Amino acid sequence: MPVSKRNHRLWLQIAVVLVTFAAPADAADRLAGDLVSLRNGSKLRGVLFEQSDKSITLLVSAKWLSATNAKLHQTSRSQTISANRAGLEQAVRRLTAQPPPAGDAAVAAFLEQQLQEVQAELAKADKFDPDLLWQMLSMKDVARVDATTPEYRQLLTWAWTEGLDRAETRSVEEILRDLKARNVSPVGWPLSFIERVPAREQTENEWAARRALVDYSLGQRLDFQGTGDVLARAGKKAQADVGQLLVGLLRQQLQSNFGDLLGEPRHAKNGRDNTAKVESLAKAIQTAESEKQNGFRVTRLELASDFQQATVTTQFVARLADGSWRTIFQHTERADAKQARPEIEKRIQDDPQVKKVLDLTRQLGVAADEQIQQAIRFGAATVAAQQSCDREFAAFRDVYLPSIVKPTLSIGRENLPKDR
């Protein structure tokens, strides 16, 4: 998915994918990273962070830029050093002015540690010699942007981390071969790359979103789970309750079968589905506001009438500085319910709640073993999909928790409805 030309995006949100990288068929011809062509004929290769109607921000290797455009390298280096200092100074001001929440020792300790680390970095900011440089360009100077895939963008950062020569101009296939020779699997974003990203100033809303993520991750958590447009508060562990899930699914199947026996028509979905989802999210926001929470997570299961595929979507919603609420992370995972998952299926069948419903189902004789197995596999697929969503969120969270200032957490412009 290329970076949007209209909105700033969560630059890591769409790319923190914990799957083994596999090169597509055209890997021999494709280059890693993004390509920005300027109107003066210059070409820049790197990692595209943000793009809007007015500007573009690209991260490039200082070594590569020095070799290809020495003049631009000097300008970019000076800008990056200034941007890094400004970002650190801003963070010190905010951490000093905004005391940690009372009664939350883990959050308070983290923020105190962050203040000390940022102050230490700021003390040596004049000697900062970045090996990664910000290229902040006006769109008036840009002729063309060729955005690559998240996987190729990620691959370039692995090449940078491993110090591969001419990574910007070598094919994906060559880079993959060299990484394999070093026993390096380019999965996720390399931590050392994240640590090397220079600091930048963050808007008030970006800072608020980041603080919301810190408070949620280290402090009191607020989670909601549900199906479709129905949400309920989840337990502290925020894990799928397999028993309750399968009880609901099997009851739904029983009701469906009873309806078929009695000749009752099944209810069709109406146009209020999306409206109802917004309303349920608004209620979750009201709960967060009443409990003075600045962020919460929502996980939804979309029920398929044929039980062939389980779809789970998870999102993290944060309150911004202007009082609005915005989704800053979202991931949808689909799992094939026809696939056997013996381990998960056994846990489901052993659940006391499920056993009761299974016994009732067999006593009534309204569902065959095949239908029961189908429902259990659907439940197993749902658990697998949620576990994948949990991993994706953990990967997103772990990118931003090591440091309060980098990488910057850019957010989209679309707010959730304020009229509740």
Average pLDDT over residues 146-152: 88
Share of the chain above pLDDT 70, in %: 78
Residue 26 located in a structural domain: no
What's the pTM?
A: 0.78
Q: Are residues 246 and 373 in the same domain?
A: yes
- Residue 387 is assigned to a structural domain of this protein: yes
> Are 308 and 348 members of one domain?
yes
pLDDT of res. 273 = 62
Tell me the longest C-alpha to C-alpha distance in the chain. 81
Q: Is the pLDDT of residue 406 over 70?
A: yes
| Residues 281-291, mean pLDDT to the nearest whole number | 93
Single out the residue in 146, 169, 201 at which a domain terminates. 201
Q: Compute the mean pLDDT over every residue in the chain, rounded to the nearest whole number.
A: 80
Instruction: Say if residue 128 is in the same domain as residue 189.
Output: yes
Does position 420 have pLDDT exceeding 60, yes or no? Answer: no
Check whether residue 135 and residue 278 sit in a common domain: no
Region 194-208 average pLDDT: 92
pLDDT of residue 272: 53
pLDDT band at 367 (very low <50, low <70, confident <90, very high): low
Whether 379 and 246 map to the same domain: the answer is: yes
Mean pLDDT of 147-169: 91
Residue 71 maps to a domain: yes
User: Does residue 25 form part of some domain?
Assistant: no
Domain boundary among 167, 201, 235: 201
Q: How many structural domains comprise the chain? A: 2
Whether 7 shows a pLDDT value over 70: the answer reads no
83, HSE (Cβ side, Cα atoms, 13 Å): 23
Does some domain include residue 7? no
- Domain with 386 in it: 223-400
- Tell me whether residue 217 is in a domain: no
**Closest alpha carbon to 219 in 147, 293, 278:** 293
Binning pLDDT at 50, 70 and 90, where does residue 151 land?
confident
Q: Which of 55 and 413 is assigned the larger pLDDT?
A: 55
Q: Is 91's pLDDT higher than 80?
A: yes
Pick the range with the lowest mean pLDDT from 1-5, 56-60, 100-104, 338-342. Answer: 1-5
Together in a domain, 46 and 193: yes
Please report the pLDDT score of residue 61 as a whole number: 95
At 241 the pLDDT is 52
Which of 201, 234, 265 is the last residue in one of the domains? 201
The answer to the question of residue 192 being in a domain is yes
- The answer to whether residue 215 is domain-embedded is no
Cα angle: 150, vertex 155, 156; to 5 degrees? 105
Q: At residue 70, what are phi and psi to the nearest 5 degrees?
A: -60, -40
Co-location of 264 and 322 in the same domain: yes
Overall average pLDDT of the 298-305 stretch: 82
- How confident is the model at residue 378, as a pLDDT? 85
